[in-house]
Chains A and B, each alone.
Chain A
Amino acid sequence: MNEMRPVYLLGAAVTPVAEHWERSLGDLAHEACAAALGDLPRTAVDALVVANALAPALQLQAQLGAALADACGLTGIEAWAVEAGGAAGGVALRQAALMIAAGAAELVVVLGAEKVSDVLDARREAATALSSDADWEGVHGATLTAQWAMLMRRYMHDYGVGAADFAPFPVNAHARAVANPAALYRFAVAPGRIAGAAPVADPLVLLDCATAADGAAAVVLASAALAGRFAGPPIRLAGSAVATDRLALHARRDPLWLAAAGQATALALRRAGLAIGDIGAAELTDPHGIAAALALEAGGFVARGSAVRHAADGRFGSGGVLPLANAGGYKARGDLLGATGVYQVAELAALMRTPGAPRATLAQCLGGVGATAAVTVLVRDDA
């Protein structure tokens, strides 16, 4: 793999996360893509990789490569969409990075776009459940939220923790979203309010459940030749990895162990030449505290069964050892489904440009309950 070329992050942009009643998938895609490209000539773009999870189910629209290249004014270029449920964004980033690393492209746009507000709640829940095993989970009425809830209840049973002990995760997410103008929910939530919120899928309550919303994010990746044209220390996509697990949650030997998340994290770090302790901030698939806890444990960030205790100690808050949800995470920025992985990387890149920011960060997104895991490691090459 030594002959692979380095890949740089040239630009990134996101649209506000919201229920965009007046705007289509194409409208949102165009806004993010145009903002990320800035004044780069459109002729410099070699390819467009689209990340989306639900357009075929909700908009009855497939062939999103051509559809969104058209919407973005890039008609004619190589374009296609990646399908990996909620992991699509991370998988698309890796595919684009591989094209550049292999010398097959100099500049690739990764575009995450999702539009969920075109349908009512039940159809959205049904579409979200498409990531589960249709014959052995979906037919019994399993929803993604209910699956995380079952893992939470078992985790509470095995480790002797209560539902309220997961509150530091949504509390941190909401606190961090206040400063993010693109976030869905820009307000803080007091820890005491979480446990008393309305149940959604017991033991999960409303204030520990992310909301799916509309938005688009674009990241421009390029080779070293093009990256040198921009001011400031360059940010490099230093490593990426994708791993899979058994599709059905029940088919895994140990449902509380997100094996794909662990495998992809270790592999991406190794490809970046980094150790887990080098990561100074991270974004995870954290629609619920339990999801963050299991990803942290499988990823090797904390010991098994200890994530909730570390959260209480402030380890994952602003100023902690590993700040999470730096722009609000799934809970407060919003759940963009297939687009989320692109949002995560755009958010981390912005964070890495602020004074005192960490030099290395990691984004991890999951499809379903971790059947696909995609990890991206970013490194700022300080002079």
Chain B
Amino acid sequence: MELPRHWRLRAARYRLLGARHRSTGEVVFPREPRHAADAWDDLPLSGAAELYSFSVVRQPATDDDAPPALLALVRLAEGPLITARITDCRADELTIGMPLEMVTRALRALGPDGLIVYGYAFRPLVWPA
């Protein structure tokens, strides 16, 4: 039963809730224990991002990641770099630096308890500006 460990991360996983430093303006994601409330405010991030790097995972660690899965390091528009899956496209459509947008996808199905863990993934921007 892994419900609590995923449930408590829901704001970051569903809404990209990060934090911004009140005086320096630095943005972090995810918010960590050291980002104390007296200096950091909650900040939902836009979901706009660009591709920092990626790989095609052909030897996955679980059956949830049917190969080939696209794994990426994604630079969020507000600054933080995060690890996420790329979805709704093929590997040969990806290039470093291309614009991405956040979508919500099922990340894991946790066995007989029936818990399905949802969270952010990214896809190439559908309607580029």
Q: Are B58 and A200 in contact (CB under 8 A)?
A: yes
B57-73 toward A: CB 8 Å interface, digit per residue (1/0)? 11111111100010111
**CB closest residue in chain B, given A201:** B55
Band of interface residues on A: 20 to 34
Chain A binding surface SS class: helix
**Which residues of B are interface residues toward A (Cβ below 8 A)?**
5-6, 9, 30, 52-65, 69, 71-73, 80-85, 91, 96, 107-108, 117, 119, 121
Q: Are B57 and A201 in contact (CB under 8 A)?
A: yes
Residues in B with CB closer than 8 Å to A136 are 30, 82-83
The answer for the CA separation of A135 and B53 in the assembled complex, in Å, is 20
Residues in A with CB closer than 8 Å to B5 are 135
The answer for the CA separation of A141 and B53 in the assembled complex, in Å, is 15
Q: Are A250 and B61 in contact (CB under 8 A)?
A: no
Cβ-neighbour of A143 out of B9, B59, B91, B96 (below 8 A): B59
Q: Is A313 an interface residue (CB 8 A)?
A: no
**Which residues of A are interface residues toward B (Cβ below 8 A)?**
121-122, 125-126, 128-129, 135-143, 145-146, 149-151, 153-154, 157, 199-204, 248-251, 255
Q: Are B73 and A249 in contact (CB under 8 A)?
A: yes
Q: Are B71 and A122 in contact (CB under 8 A)?
A: no
Q: Are B61 and A129 in contact (CB under 8 A)?
A: yes
Residues in A with CB closer than 8 Å to B65 are 141
The answer for the CA separation of A315 and B71 in the assembled complex, in Å, is 33
Known: A150-B71, A250-B82. A135 touches B9 (CB 8 A): yes
**CB closest residue in chain A, given B64:** A141
Residues in B with CB closer than 8 Å to A202 are 55-56, 58, 91
The answer for the CA separation of A152 and B28 in the assembled complex, in Å, is 25
Q: Are A250 and B53 in contact (CB under 8 A)?
A: no
Q: Are A146 and B82 in contact (CB under 8 A)?
A: no
The answer for the CA separation of A108 and B91 in the assembled complex, in Å, is 51
Q: Are A121 and B59 in contact (CB under 8 A)?
A: yes
Question: Could you say which of B55, B59, B96 has the most chain A C-beta atoms within 10 Å of its C-beta?
Answer: B55
Cβ-neighbour of A201 out of B52, B56, B85 (below 8 A): B56
Q: Are A126 and B62 in contact (CB under 8 A)?
A: yes
Q: Are B69 and A141 in contact (CB under 8 A)?
A: yes
Q: Are B82 and A157 in contact (CB under 8 A)?
A: no
The answer for the CA separation of A143 and B69 in the assembled complex, in Å, is 11
Residues in A with CB closer than 8 Å to B9 are 135
The answer for the CA separation of A120 and B53 in the assembled complex, in Å, is 29
A148 to chain B, nearest CB (A): 9
Question: Could you say which of A122, A126, A151 has the most chain B C-beta atoms within 10 Å of its C-beta?
Answer: A122
Q: Are A140 and B71 in contact (CB under 8 A)?
A: yes
B88 to chain A, nearest CB (A): 16
Q: Which 4 residue pairs of A and B lie closest in terms of their CB atoms, listed nearest first?
A: A149-B55, A141-B65, A126-B61, A154-B53
Residues in B with CB closer than 8 Å to A255 are 52, 73, 81
**CB closest residue in chain A, given B120:** A140
Q: Are B108 and A153 in contact (CB under 8 A)?
A: no
Residues in A with CB closer than 8 Å to B85 are 140-141
The answer for the CA separation of A153 and B80 in the assembled complex, in Å, is 19
Residues in A with CB closer than 8 Å to B119 are 139-140
B57 to chain A, nearest CB (A): 5
**CB closest residue in chain B, given A250:** B81
A253 to chain B, nearest CB (A): 9
Q: Are B61 and A139 in contact (CB under 8 A)?
A: no
Q: Are A141 and B71 in contact (CB under 8 A)?
A: yes
Q: Are A141 and B62 in contact (CB under 8 A)?
A: yes
Residues in B with CB closer than 8 Å to A128 are 61
The answer for the CA separation of A63 and B83 in the assembled complex, in Å, is 33
Q: Are A153 and B96 in contact (CB under 8 A)?
A: yes
**CB closest residue in chain B, given A253:** B81
7 contacts between A and B (CB under 8 A): A121-B59, A128-B61, A140-B71, A140-B119, A146-B55, A201-B58, A255-B73
The answer for the CA separation of A150 and B61 in the assembled complex, in Å, is 17
Known: A141-B69, A146-B57, A146-B71. A154 touches B82 (CB 8 A): no
B59 to chain A, nearest CB (A): 6
The answer for the CA separation of A125 and B61 in the assembled complex, in Å, is 5
Q: Are B83 and A145 in contact (CB under 8 A)?
A: no
**CB closest residue in chain B, given A124:** B61
The answer for the CA separation of A136 and B117 in the assembled complex, in Å, is 13
Residues in B with CB closer than 8 Å to A125 are 59-61
Q: Are A122 and B83 in contact (CB under 8 A)?
A: no
**CB closest residue in chain B, given A154:** B53
Q: Are B58 and A150 in contact (CB under 8 A)?
A: no
